[in-house]
Chains A and B, each alone.
Chain A
Amino acid sequence: MQNFKSIEIKKEEIVPIAEKMRNEGRRLVMIHGYVDKEGQKIVSYQYEVGDTVEAYTVKGEDVLPTISHIYDASASWPEEELHELIGVNFEGLNMKGRLFLPDTMFEGKGQILVTPLNELVKKTQGIKE
């Protein structure tokens, strides 16, 4: 049986929680993100604790500290992806460039998830032209 527990935290708690989890040998399952109906960016740091996924959620922040120095590629890839998808900036993250999207799209940075599909089509056509 798999379980899920969601806990809201503040931005300052991200790094201490990541360090605690790492010291306890917990696996970082994933960092997920989306934009809620009020336009707030939601970033969810999810750790494996036994058969439960503990989700530590930060709301409404545009800039977050990286935890890639604690969880290596396990954190840096999701952080790069979230930068592309919803435009969150991660302080201290060594960005390689674009992970999924072309460098030319959206002037090289994010928001694909919150851009309406018809606008995305126009922007993609713009690249082709």
Chain B
Amino acid sequence: MSFQRTQEKLKILADAAKYDVSCSSSGSKRANTNKGLGDATGMGICHSYTEDGRCVSLLKILLTNHCIFDCAYCVTRKSNDVKRAAFKVQEVVDLTINFYRRNYIEGLFLSSGIFKSADYTMERLVAVAKKLRLEENFNGYIHLKSIPGASDELMREAGLYADRLSVNIEIPTEAGLKKLAPDKKREDFIKPMVKVKNEIIQYNAEKKIIKSTPKFAPAGQSTQMIIGASGENDFQIMQTSNHFYKSYNLKRVYYSGYVPISYDDRLPQIGSAVPMLRENRLYQTDWLMRFYGFDVSEILNEQHQNLDLDVDPKLSWALRNLHEFPVDVNTADQRMLARIPGLGMKSVFKIINARRFRKLNWEHLKKIGVALNRAQYFMVCDSNQFEKRDLTSEKIKGLILQNSTSKYQKMLSNQLSLFG
């Protein structure tokens, strides 16, 4: 490995890969049974964090940033004037192994620009994973990109070596895709996703009968959408997200606030702010859907097409549904506890366990870690002190905002003045 050549390629191809936000390294079940290198059985580990506060868990690089497509939102698009480079298969293998041995990373996240054809590209991604598994005895985590349009055979092979596969739909609606990436078709994204989904279903069925069935993408598949590039509202975004979770059994949908990288007038201009607060609210909604028992239509619907920026989506839902409150924490079921603003799932489980021993009062709840500044308006406990005034939702919202400082305060006032 020539150090200087590799160094230059690494700089270019890591820089080009960084807009993919997926960093998860958990959920696989690949144990180190062959006295080889690595183990991907536990929870994911973030080995470091970049200065933008994002986790560094995998060596995230492109195999090449040569690309035959010209998607407006992408830094690697054909018409963009950037330095191009391509790794050899062996170079990626050496980097992964040596970074892993030093405990820098959990594994490899390999994506690529599309050169020549979808299959030609996918074949090379698979070659890297295959070499790592079969020649290097590597049991760390491998996340491969499914290249839109890749053949079923290649997708099947990819799943045998990778822990996770993902294909980024990037643009939440077909209309948006048509505008920003006219030479790409929605079906091309869906095809590999369907193949992987079906293979996983088949694997799970066969596994029940034959225990030694080779693993197939044990950490499942994920996708990513760019936020704020093509004018969709939050309702449309979360509808799409919900559809992908339900129809393709995705493990994760990632939301990536658009970072302006182009003077193309179809897109936000360079220098405009990354919609980080909006991105955060979308993730909160995603969590409410997946872990808190909410249906997406409770949070976003025809009447509420966008999430509030000044309060979190659960509080916003609660303020619209005051008739459901107050909830008695000593008797309520898990579903209703999870709906109280200021209560996370950890606190919910603690409450359910702790109330078996004695009735809980404000002091207990505070110590357990409940955010009472929000929760107090929505619950009663073993105390005769509780909110007795008949407050309107505007009044409650005002009181909560008055008594808390959002970490997004600065951003919030900027964004609001934009709309004001």
Partners in one complex: no
Chain B residues within CB distance 8 Å of chain A: none
